Amino acid sequence: MSSPAPTSDGIGIANLPNQRHKIVAKHGAHFTMMVVGESGLGKTTLVNTLFTTELSSAKNYSRRHHKQLDKLTEVEIIKAELEEKQFKVKLSVIDTPGFGDYVNNRDSWSPIVDFIDDQHEAYMRQEQQPQREEKTDLRVHCCLHFIRPTGHTLKPLDIEIMKRLGTRVNLIPVIAKADTLTQNDLFVFKQRIREVIAAQGIRIYQPPVETDDEAAAEHARMLTDAMPFSIIGSTEDVQTSDGRTVKGREYLWGVAEVENENHCDFRKLRSLLIRTHMLDLISTTEELHYENYRQQQMETRKFGEPKVKKVDNPKFKDEEEQLRKRFTEQVKAEEARFRQWEQHLIAERDRLNKDLEMAHSAIKQLESELDNLQTGYGRGSARR
């Protein structure tokens, strides 16, 4: 009688990843991405190119200057559900039209920063409720900051907002419309941006380097070295000189291909956002940025106490300054009118005092004349 063959599968702990895979595949995932930058840098086009679908239609900039009086950065939310190989992802794209489009861009980053903080606050409030089955989660997992391809360096506005975003969200800087720069200019531009980021202490997302996987570690180092990513966005199919049909932009000198790594870093950016590091972006948001916000709030607030809302809206500030200026002008006008009225009263008082003195002098003169007459009359009576 032969003995039973020993099992080589173990007790089954190794099947836990498969179980986790089934759960994730069943429930899907959600991913929230924010795009920040001036109008006309191709934010909408890049988003559509990344996910190979028209999530948002192209903006109409014909009425762009009609909104100059608003001077307000808006926040728009675009939601979509993507499916690939029966796996679904609920995607939310946060657009910020109006940022950096005005002559005076003071505090134009406030609506963006407030939105990120408000999502952390809303999620934290939901966690404190007795029933937490259906939680709405719009916490931003990554933020693409679009840099205008000037070829010089970062603008002060870029530095200000990147400082504020880097401590709140996974910040990924990208150079928009990289096909407008030569390869040498792009290399120098990237180097200058890296120097400013290091000098200003701006925190940007760094892909984790896995020491136990050399290929993944090399890929992560390659992505880190490529930042800020130079990108070209296009949803149009064009024909190359060798007969290939690709996504890109056609020029007189040739075709700038979106997925050609010799032309731009689009494939690297897509790999970072979707193919290799989407889960890390989500977990970093949960374990780092949200926990930092939660810890900070719980150290300064009691349990269940509402957050003190600051009124830092730039539009309200402008209105407040206009009201203050109008009030100051009215006060000055009233003061001038009061001084004029006061001077008129002083002049009238002086005139009345002078008239009174003249009347007193006249009375004294009449009294003196009366005394003289009485004295003369007395002498005449005595002689008789």
Token digits for 198? 């290091």
What type of residue is 307? K
* pLDDT on residue 189: 93
Contacts of 168 by beta carbon, 8 Å cutoff, 6+ apart: 113, 116, 117, 289, 293
CB burial class (10 A; 0-12, 13-18, 19+) of residue 184? exposed
* pLDDT on residue 36: 92
Cα-based angle 294, 37, 208 (whole degrees, multiple of 5) = 50
For 115, other C-beta atoms within 10 Å of its C-beta total 17
Say if CB 145 and CB 36 are below 8 A apart.
Answer: yes
Lookup result for tokens 């009691």: 302
* pLDDT on residue 15: 84
For each of the chain's 384 residues, which pLDDT tens digit applies?
A: 455 554 566 788 888 888 888 888 888 888 999 999 888 888 888 888 888 787 777 666 555 555 554 556 778 888 888 888 888 888 899 988 878 777 667 777 888 999 999 999 999 888 888 887 778 888 999 999 999 998 888 988 899 999 999 999 999 999 998 888 888 999 999 999 999 999 999 999 999 888 888 888 999 999 999 999 999 888 888 888 888 888 888 888 888 888 888 888 999 999 999 888 999 999 999 999 999 999 888 888 776 666 766 555 555 667 778 888 888 888 888 888 888 998 998 989 889 988 888 988 889 888 888 888 878 776 666 665
Say if CB 141 and CB 285 are below 8 A apart.
Answer: yes
Lookup result for tokens 């657009």: 95
Lookup result for tokens 């056609």: 250
Question: Can you tell me the distance from the alpha carbon of 143 to that of 93, in angstroms, rounded to the nearest whole number?
Answer: 10
Ranges of H-type helices in 139-263: 156-166, 183-200, 214-226
Question: Can you tell me the distance from the alpha carbon of 91 to that of 374, in angstroms, rounded to the nearest whole number?
Answer: 117
What type of residue is 77? I
Beta strand residue intervals within 242-326, DSSP E: 245-251, 254-257
Ranges of H-type helices in 69-168: 110-127, 156-166
Say if CB 271 and CB 231 are below 8 A apart.
Answer: no
